[in-house]
Amino acid sequence: MEDSDSDDRLSQLKAFDDTKAGVKGLVDAGVATVPPIFRHPPDPHAASATTTIPVVDLGRPDLGLLRAAAETVGFFQVVNHGVPAELLAETLAAVRRFNEEPAEARRPYYTRDPARRVSYHSNFDLFQSPAANWRDTLFLEMPAPPEEMPPPCRAVVPEYTRQLRRLGARLLELLSEALGLHAGYLERDAGCLDGMVLACHYYPPCPEPHLTMGTTRHSDPSFLTVLLQDGVGGLQVLHGGRWADVPPLPGVLVVNVGDLLQLISNDRFKSVEHRVVAMTPGAAATARVSVACFFRTTGAAASTRAYGPIAVATDDEEESPPPRYRSVTVAEFLGHYKDKGLDGRSALGRFRLLLSSSSSGPISCKQTN
């Protein structure tokens, strides 16, 4: 019976993927119930905790506030970031226009080929995760040739990424100082700004939002993520064992620590799990649109440069603690992340070292599985 159920699920996944129309195609077809492949088990954590996501004014940055946010909540919001409000609005509008074009216009970009710098599909982990998410995504590995991008994105995306690269450099400068390092460490020495990937998400309204998720709980496979979201809402952060809303604020960008920054900071900074809940047609007149900018190494360096914990002591430590992770390339980390899919488990566990001690010797490190 289990083999039969597995074969049936695989057939449903393939049939959905073969449409090359994504979740938007289901909605356009008038689906009234959530298909079984999208149904998620209930989440054990309570929702709507009263957690305030810190707001950092980059015009007058408070390094203590930034450090505390990175070390505890893992998320913060930035104002006075220098990215023009008009550009933010145009970027969201471009992503919406692409996703709301007829399916025939989107299909040429639909692919699961990892070599493509521009790819559109629904659920990168469609065939790995326990349940699919109610969203479609346009991935852009930058710099991507404009002629390879969908027409609605060609004019605005290159300028948006130029602005985000400048912002990323400023954020990494401040985070370097928060770690007690020289300002250029994370950008130049560690190479955290050596690559950018945009994940442009489109979340159509869902007929049965209690049965599925917009995005399953996960942490990000990046050094740093900068998120642009529209006014629909739905983003939640796991804090203190409860889900806390991150309400959208006009002109504000959301920043979160990624797995790779937690690794190289040796757990000083926290890559926190987050999710996006599905929306009902009544709760959101339009689909939710967001653009996540992942700063992580791309190209040849992703498979050749290894990253491991850097020697950083906290204010109450005389020397740096022993490394808690083994060194890993970005390619190896991403490979594991994609193979396991968004299954509710952190990808960092694969690379964590088990610290043990005995009375007869120093601390030793063993890799965990």
Ranges of each domain in the chain:
15-367
pLDDT value of residue 311? 79
Q: Closest Cα partner for 283 from 192, 360, 207?
A: 207
Question: Given phi > 0 = left and psi -120 to 50 = alpha, else beta, which region is 24?
Answer: alpha
- Is 268 in contact with 314 (CB distance < 8 Å)? yes
Number of Cβ atoms within 10 Å of the Cβ of 23: 27
**Res 1 pLDDT > 60:** no
**Res 275 pLDDT > 80:** yes
* CA dist list (Å): 231 to 228, 283, 290: 10, 12, 10
Question: Rg of the chain over CA atoms, in angstroms?
Answer: 21
Three-state SS for the chain is CHHHHHHHHHHHHHHHHHCCCHHHHHHHCCCCCCCHHHCCCCCCCEEEECCCCCEEECCCCCHHHHHHHHHCCCEEEEECCCCCHHHHHHHHHHHHHHHCCCHHHHHHHECCCCCCCEEEECCCCCCCCCCCCCCEEEEEEECCCHHHCCHHHCCCHHHHHHHHHHHHHHHHHHHHHHCCCCCCHHHHHCCCCCCEEEEEEEECCCCCHHHCCCEEEECCCCCEEEEEECCCCCEEEEECCEEEECCCCCCCEEEEECHHHHHHCCCCCCCCCEEECCCCCCCCCCCEEEEEEEECCCCCHHHHCEECCCCCCCCCCCCCCCCCECCEEHHHHHHHHHHHCCCCCCHHHHHEEEEEEECCEEEEEEECC
User: What are residue 307's DSSP bridge partners?
Assistant: 328
Q: Which tens digit of pLDDT belongs to each residue from 201-251? A: 999 999 999 999 999 999 999 999 999 999 999 999 998 888 999 989 999
Q: Which amino acid is at 294?
A: F
Number of Cβ atoms within 10 Å of the Cβ of 283: 14
Residues 78-100 have a mean pLDDT of: 98
**Res 157 pLDDT > 90:** yes
pLDDT value of residue 45? 72
CATH superfamily of 15-367: B-lactam Antibiotic, Isopenicillin N Synthase; Chain (2.60.120.330)
If pLDDT is split at 50, 70 and 90, which confidence band does 315 have? low
Residues 262-291 have a mean pLDDT of: 89
Number of Cβ atoms within 10 Å of the Cβ of 314: 12
**Res 6 pLDDT > 70:** yes
**Res 357 pLDDT > 50:** no
Q: Closest Cα partner for 329 from 355, 368, 353, 299?
A: 299
- Is 285 in contact with 279 (CB distance < 8 Å)? no
Q: Which tens digit of pLDDT belongs to each residue from 282-309? A: 655 689 999 999 999 998 889 999 999 9
**Res 369 pLDDT > 60:** no
Contacts of 368 (CB under 8 A, 6+ apart): 349, 350, 352, 353, 354
Q: Which tens digit of pLDDT belongs to each residue from 97-133? A: 999 999 999 999 999 998 899 999 999 999 999 999 9
Gap between the Cα atoms of 140 and 186, Å rounded: 23
* CA dist list (Å): 110 to 53, 94, 150, 177: 35, 17, 11, 42
